[in-house]
Amino acid sequence: MTDELRVVGRDHPIADAALKVSGALVYATDMRLPRMLYAKLLLSPIAHGRVAHIDATEALALPGVVAVFSHENAPQRLYSRYRLLPDQDCPEDEPLFAETVRFAGDRVAAVVAEGLDIAAAAVRLLRVQYEELPAVLTAEEALREGAIPIHPGGNLLSEFEHAAGERPEARGNEVTVTVATSLPRAHHAALEPHSCIADCDASGKLTMWSPTQSVFGARTVVADLLGLSYSQVRVIKVPMGGSFGGKQEFTLEPVTAFMAMTLRRPVRLALEREECISSTMVRGASTSTVRVTADPAGVLKDLEVDTLFDAGAYGTSSIDYVDMMTKKLTRLYRVPQYRHHCRVVYTTTPVAGGCRAWGAVDITAPMEIAMDRLAGRLGMDPVELRLKNLVEPFDRELLTGAELGDARIRECLVRGAEAFRWDERVQQDPGRGRYRRGVGVACGAHKNGMLSDTFPDFSTMTLKMNEDGSVALGASLHEVGCGAVTAMRLIVAEELGIEPEMVSVTEADSDLTPYDFGCYGSRVTYVCGAAARQTAVALKERLLEVAAVLMGRPVAELCFRGGRIEAASAPGEGLAPAEAVMAAKTVLHEDVSVQSTHQATSNPGAYSAQFAEVVVDTWTGLTRVTDFLAVGDVGRAINRAMVVGQYQGAVQMGIGFALCEEVGLDTAGRVVPGGFKQYHVVNTPDMPDVKVILVEHDGDDGPYGAKSVGEISVVPTVPAVVNAVNRALGTSLSDLPLTPAKVVAALR
C-alpha cells in the first residue's frame, strides 16, 4: 500500500518546526496579556496536618501584592482534577486550597501580584501555623490497623478484582514462579514546567490558555467548580513542551481560573521544576506480584497478579489507572486463566496520576521480569518462551472478549530477534571481570483509543475548502509535541491529492472547534486520524455535489481525475476544485465545507518487542545501556521520522524508569529537593543510538492502517533493560530503579 501513498508514510518535519528552531513559538509562559498578574503558590512543607492559622498581613503589605488566597477565602467545594465528562465516576476529594494538608506540596495559599518577583517575595512573608498529623508514607502503612484516615472514607480508595477463564486441571508437573516487582514514584519530566493563564472579562466570561491534553475536560472541571455554564468558560490549547500524562489532569487550571474570576484580571500561574515534581502529579508507586504457571513445555496455564498502588493524597485517576493496568496482559499473552487483584490506597505523598501508557508500564515490567524468571526455571530461551504464548493476529483477548485486530507481536519479536542477533548474543558469556555484559528482551501490548464495553470513542472535525483549493481542518487537536497536527495534515493531503502545505489544522479551542475527548488513550492517530480521513472523503463528496449542480450533470457521472472534477463521459471538460469553490460562492451562494463524526468501532492491540544490551560496572553498580532495538507494530507509519523519533524518545524514558528515575521522599515525606539534580533523566552520553524497526501492514481500521505509537513505545523498555541486567549479573533484581547501590548490594 505504501507505494501508492504520496505523502503518508514518508519523513516529514513537525509542522511548526521552523517556529521552534527560531524561538518564535509562543508557549504559555511566553505570553503576556495587558494587566496580567502573576501568582505564586505556597505549598505545604509538611506531609499531613491542619492549617491552624494563616497570617497574610506582611505579605499583603508588600507593594504590588494584589491578593492572598487560601481556604479562608476560597470555595470549599471538593472536585476531581481528572474529570472529563460531567457524569463520570471520579472521586471528588480535592479542594482549591487545603485546610487539611495531605502531602508536602499540597496547595496552602497563593499570592497574586503585579510581578513574579513580588509574588515570590510575598509568599515568603506568609506566616502559617500547622497542627501536624501523623504522615502515612507507604501504601502498606496506610492499610495498617489504626492508621490515621487521610480522607473521611478511610485509606483504601478502591479494591477490586478482575478475573476470567478457568485454570486447566493441574497435572502436577507445572512450574510456577512468583515475582514481586516495585516501581517507584516517577516524574514525567516534560521539559516545559506546568503553567496556565486565565482571564475573566467584565461580562464574567472566563478564558484560559493552557498546555492541556483536553480543553473540554478543563472546561468541565473549572465550570462545575466555579458554578459557571460551559459557555462561560473557554479553554484554548496553547503549545505544549511535552506532557507524557503530566499535563493530562487539570492541576493548575481550577486554581488559576478561580483567582482570575475573583480579581477580574488575567492571572498567570507557572511552576518551577521542584514544584512540578512535588506538587503536580507523579506516576504512582506500585508493587505488583506476578504468579505465573506454565507446563513443562512453557505454555502458560495460569496468571495471577496482585497490585498494591499508592495513589498519594488525592484520588484523581488512580482507580481508572489501575483498572487499565488489568487490561494489558491478556492483550499480550494467551492464558487460560487470569486474575488481577488490586488495591488503590491513599497516602500522604505526592498525587499519582496519568502517565504515558497508563498502567501498561506498571504491569508489563512485573510480568516480563517474571517471564524471564520462568524461562530460567524451565531452562528455556526467553524469546522461545514468549513465542509459545503471545497472541496471534485476530485473537480475542480473554478478559473482555475484545478483538485484537491484526496483532503482529510475534512478527515484532521474530524480526527483532534476528536483527538483534539474539540467539548469538544471549549465549555470550557476561564475563567475570569488573564489567559484565548482558542482553534482555521484553514484549508489550497497548491499545488504540478509549473504546471499550463501557466507554465510547469518537471524534468530530470540520473541513472547508478555500477559494484557492487549500483547506482548513477544524479539529480539537491537542499537540503534545510529537506531531499530531502534522499527521492530520498528511492524512488530509493524501486523501485530497494536495500538498501538505495546502492544509491548515487547528488545535483545540472549546468555543470554536468541534468536540473531542483530547490527547490520551493512544487515540489520536487511530481515532482522530480516521476522523480526518473521513472528513476529507466527505469534502470530496461535497465538491462533487457542487460541481454536479454547476456542470448540470448527475453526481454519479462525476469523479476526480488529475486533480480536477470531470464527467466520465466528457474527459477534458470539468472544474478544478478551487473553481468549484469560487463558483459555489458566486453562483450558488454556498460554502464548500463539511462536518463529520467518526465513531470508533474497534480497539485493536498495539505492540512492541524490545531488546537491550547493558554493561554493568560491578565495582560502582553503574549500568550503561550500550545497544537497544525497538520493534513496533504500528500498522502504518503516517509520518515515519516522527514515529521513529517517538520510539527513540520513549526508550530514553524507559531506560530512566529502569535505572535511575525515582521521586525520592525523605523520612518526613518531603520530596528530596534539587529538581533534576536529584531526579536523574538520561542524558546524551548515557543514551545508546536506539534502532527502530517498524512492522507495517494493512488489516486494521486506523487511517491507512495506522495504529498508535506514543504509549506502546515505552511499554516493554523497562523490563528489557532489567532482564539484561539480571542476565549480565545472574541476579534477580526487581525493585526499581536499579540504582548503583541496589546493584552493588545484590552482588554482595
Where along the sequence are the contacts to ligand FES (CB under 6 A)?
Answer: 191, 242, 481
Strands (E), 543-688: 558-561, 564-567, 570-575, 593-599, 606-617, 623-635
Q: Is 481 in the site for another protein (CB under 8 A)?
A: yes
For residue 511, the one-letter residue type is D
Spatial distance between the Cα atoms of 521 and 517, rounded to a whole number of angstroms: 10
Q: Which does 52 bind (CB under 5 to 8 A by kind): another protein, ligand FES, none?
A: none
Q: Which of 693, 744, 746, 747 binds another protein (CB under 8 A)?
A: 693
Cβ distance to another protein smaller for residue 19 or 52 = 19
Residue 469: how many CB atoms within 10 A of its CB?
Answer: 17
The answer to whether the CB of 321 falls within 8 A of the CB of 284 is yes
Q: Is 689 in the site for another protein (CB under 8 A)?
A: yes
Q: Which does 692 bind (CB under 5 to 8 A by kind): ligand FES, another protein, none?
A: another protein
Of residues 23-42, those binding another protein (CB under 8 A): 23-27, 29-30
Partners of 338 in the β-ladder = 164, 303
**227 φ/ψ angles, rounded to the nearest 5 degrees:** 70, 35
**Dihedral, 407, 409, 411, 414 alpha carbons, nearest 10:** -170
Looking up cell 548490594 gives: 745
Quick one: cell of 259?
483567582
Q: What is the CA radius of gyration of the chain?
A: 27
Cβ distance to ligand FES smaller for residue 192 or 310 = 192
Cβ distance to ligand FES smaller for residue 581 or 642 = 642
Q: Is 691 in the site for another protein (CB under 8 A)?
A: yes
The answer to whether the CB of 171 falls within 8 A of the CB of 229 is no
The answer to whether the CB of 472 falls within 8 A of the CB of 504 is yes
Write the CB contacts of 406 (distance below 8 Å, at least 6 apart in sequence): 393, 394, 604, 635, 697, 698, 699, 700
Q: Is 652 in the site for another protein (CB under 8 A)?
A: yes
Residue 79: how many CB atoms within 10 A of its CB?
Answer: 22
Cβ distance to ligand FES smaller for residue 11 or 541 = 11
CB of 35 to another protein, least distance (A): 16
Q: Which of 149, 144, 155, 59 is nearest to 109 (CA)?
A: 59
Cβ distance to ligand FES smaller for residue 190 or 352 = 190
Q: How far is CA 441 from CA 152, 184, 347, 635, in A?
A: 45, 22, 34, 22
The answer to whether the CB of 619 falls within 8 A of the CB of 743 is no
Q: Which of 294, 402, 524, 644 binds another protein (CB under 8 A)?
A: 644
Cβ distance to ligand FES smaller for residue 190 or 729 = 190
Spatial distance between the Cα atoms of 343 and 322, rounded to a whole number of angstroms: 9
CB of 17 to ligand FES, least distance (A): 10
Q: Are strands 65-70 and 558-561 parallel, antiparallel or unpaired?
A: unpaired
Spatial distance between the Cα atoms of 634 and 513, rounded to a whole number of angstroms: 28
Quick one: cell of 400?
473482555
Q: Which of 55, 58, 72, 117 binds another protein (CB under 8 A)?
A: 117
Q: Is 423 in the site for another protein (CB under 8 A)?
A: no
Q: Is 514 in the site for another protein (CB under 8 A)?
A: no
Cβ distance to ligand FES smaller for residue 20 or 50 = 20
Q: Is 541 in the site for another protein (CB under 8 A)?
A: no
CB of 486 to ligand FES, least distance (A): 14
Q: Which does 170 bind (CB under 5 to 8 A by kind): another protein, ligand FES, none?
A: none
Q: Which of 3, 4, 22, 424 binds another protein (CB under 8 A)?
A: 22
CB of 481 to ligand FES, least distance (A): 5
Q: Which of 95, 184, 366, 483 binds another protein (CB under 8 A)?
A: 483
Q: Which does 487 bind (CB under 5 to 8 A by kind): another protein, ligand FES, none?
A: none
Spatial distance between the Cα atoms of 105 and 269, rounded to a whole number of angstroms: 15
Q: Which of 66, 257, 482, 733 binds another protein (CB under 8 A)?
A: 482
Cβ distance to ligand FES smaller for residue 277 or 311 = 277
Q: Is 683 in the site for another protein (CB under 8 A)?
A: yes
Q: Which does 629 bind (CB under 5 to 8 A by kind): ligand FES, another protein, none?
A: another protein
CB of 711 to ligand FES, least distance (A): 16
CB of 274 to ligand FES, least distance (A): 12
Q: Which of 2, 6, 17, 392 binds another protein (CB under 8 A)?
A: 17
Instruction: Write the interaction track for another protein spanning residues 228-267; mark x where CB under 8 A is met and - where it is not.
Output: -----------xxxx-x-----------------------
Task: State the burial class of residue 628 (Cβ atoms within 10 Å of its Cβ: 0-12, 13-18, 19+).
Answer: buried
Spatial distance between the Cα atoms of 65 and 39, rounded to a whole number of angstroms: 10
Q: Which of 629, 695, 715, 733 binds another protein (CB under 8 A)?
A: 629
Q: Which of 64, 469, 675, 699 binds another protein (CB under 8 A)?
A: 675
Cβ distance to ligand FES smaller for residue 243 or 389 = 243
Partners of 39 in the β-ladder = 112, 269
Q: Which of 640, 670, 707, 727 binds another protein (CB under 8 A)?
A: 640
Cβ distance to ligand FES smaller for residue 645 or 688 = 645
Q: How far is CA 359 from CA 282, 304, 307, 389, 634, in A?
A: 13, 16, 11, 21, 20
CB of 354 to ligand FES, least distance (A): 18
Q: Is 745 in the site for another protein (CB under 8 A)?
A: no
Strands (E), 334-466: 337-346, 435-446, 458-465
Binding site for another protein (CB under 8 A): 11, 13-14, 16-27, 29-30, 117, 188-193, 239-242, 244, 272-273, 419, 480-483, 629, 640-642, 644-653, 674-677, 681, 683-685, 687, 689-694
